[in-house]
Amino acid sequence: MTEHPSWTTLSSRYVVNDEWLTLRADTVRTGEGHVLDPFYVAEHRDWVNCVVVDEDEHAVLVRQYRHGVGKHVLELVAGGVEPGETPEDAVRRELLEETGYTGGALFRTGVSYANPASQTNRVFSFLAVGGACRERQALEPGESLSVERAPLREVARDLVGGTGEREVLQSLHLASALLALAFVASSAHPAVASLRTSLTSS
């Protein structure tokens, strides 16, 4: 594999720097010697996405308003990693806040970059199995969401087929969902054995 030289940052300034958006304008020299000015980089906190399966083997999803597209869309439980948190801390907090879900087993199924071309953050993907939504939601200002439950097999079918009432269109959530399904298919852990049977039986 041919490895090209890294870019060199010649200068950097913040165009926007607040709690919700941090946008940096860099002047860079590429490995081939070209100068790009500006090259914009969005600094985000790491994120967590979680496929949630309750004690009845139903997937727990959230439908919430997303102003960027002006629609209510179906998503996984997800959120940012707060300062001082581990990804595991963050996903358990988000599970409780968004759905009231507690208990069960938690598995990290993968880690990826959100968009390495222009964003700094990573996405940690998880699978939560065997808990239940018994606590009250604790939604933040700006969160408008409802919890939806459906048999995992039906949700998996709609994800792979890209059709149906439970169509997830958020690309990073789709990636995390596919990582969770791959984990279920390959893991020998007893907590996912019945899920694997349910998903693979005819």
Range of the domain at 154: 47-200
Residue 87 has pLDDT above 90, yes or no: yes
> In this structure, is residue 33 part of a structural domain?
yes
pLDDT, averaged across the chain: 92
Number of domains in the chain: 2
- 87 occurs within a structural domain: yes
- Give me the residue label for tokens 């870019």: 7
Based on the fold, state whether residues 114 and 30 are members of the same structural domain: no
Structure confidence at residue 19 as a pLDDT band (50, 70, 90): confident
Stretch among 77-81, 98-102, 155-159 having the lowest mean pLDDT: 155-159
Q: What is the CATH number of the domain that holds 188?
A: 3.90.79.10
Q: Looking at the domain assignment, is residue 1 inside a domain?
A: no
Are 24 and 87 contained in the same domain?
A: no
Q: Is the pLDDT of residue 162 over 80?
A: no
State whether 165 and 184 are in the same domain. Answer: yes
> What tokens does 71 get?
């629609």
Instruction: Annotate 66-87 with b (16+ C-beta within 10 A) or e (fewer).
Output: eeeeeeebbbbbbbebeeebeb
Same domain, 25 and 104: no
Mean pLDDT of 12-16: 97
8 A C-beta contact, residue 171 and residue 178:
no
Structural domain contains residue 176: yes
Residues 144 and 36: their CA atoms lie apart, in Å, by: 40
The long-range contacts involving 23-32, CB below 8 angstroms and separated by at least 24 positions, are 31/4, 31/5, 31/6, 31/7, 32/4, 32/5
Give residue 182's pLDDT: 95
Task: Mark whether 96 and 148 lie in a shared domain.
Answer: yes
Q: Does some domain include residue 138?
A: yes
2 in any annotated domain = no
Residue 28: predicted pLDDT = 97
Answer yes or no: do 84 and 65 share one domain: yes
In a domain, 136, yes or no: yes
* Segment 124-156, tens digit of pLDDT: 999 999 999 999 888 878 777 899 999 998 888
Say yes or no: 73 and 160 in one domain.
yes
List pLDDT tens digits, range 172-198.
999 999 999 999 999 999 999 999 988
